[in-house]
Amino acid sequence: MIFFMECGSLQVECVMRFPVFWLIGMSFLMAADSKQEEAAKELEKLEGKWRFVAIVSEGKDIPEDVVKAARLTISGKRFTLQMNTETHTGIITLNPSAYPKTIDVTYNTGPERGKKALGIYELEYSKLKVCMGIVGAARPTKFVSKPQSGHVLETLVREKPTAKRPSQGKDSP
């Protein structure tokens, strides 16, 4: 920012670079904080236990017994995926301001440990639809899984919390 200042009969050119760069930097930080807050709120909406109702991998339906046994638990930015006898854990990163909303999954365990899978997601009430690329595949742009696409389309529903029974201790009537 350049402005002119008069000192008596002398006109002096002043350059104010620091305040302008400071303002620009602060606006970027505020925007980043806003996106992080939005992502944190979205993660809160996903927290809980989820049951798979359909999985389509590269255009092929996964057998019903495998789908029914699969469970996903999200707590904060961490997830645990249980499929058959395998358990995978990792970190979820969301961008809810993208369209479609994006999800990145970084695995902490298993053969994909340390690797990232890219996907998109859509949350409608207690139904979660996710289309993920296998590790190394491009991020999907639509909620479809076609042969040789490297994409897996998953549909999940939130599990209803189980009601806790009051304990029947010695003080109970």
For residue 84, give the CATH number of its domain: 2.40.128.270
Domain count, the chain: 1
The verdict on residue 64 lying in a domain is yes
Four-point Cα dihedral 120, 99, 91, 54, nearest 10: -30
**Does some domain include residue 96?**
yes
Please check whether residue 84 lies inside any domain of the structure.
yes
Residue 89's φ and ψ, nearest 5 degrees, are -125, 165
Average pLDDT over residues 21-43: 64
DSSP symbol at 164: P
Q: Is residue 169 part of a domain?
A: no
Q: Which domain holds residue 68?
A: 43-158
Does 119 fall in a domain? yes
Calculate mean pLDDT across residues 20-40: 59
pLDDT at 31 over 80: no
Residue 30 lies in a domain: no
Q: What is the pLDDT of residues 118-130, one digit of tens each?
A: 999 999 999 999 9
**Calpha distance 115→4 (Å, rounded):** 55
> What digits encode the pLDDT tens for the residues 81-100?
998 889 999 999 999 999 99
Structural domain includes residue 105: yes
Lowest-pLDDT choice from 18-27, 99-108, 130-139: 18-27
Q: Is 171 domain-assigned?
A: no
What is the pTM for the complete model shown?
0.74
Number of H helices, E strands in the chain: 2, 11
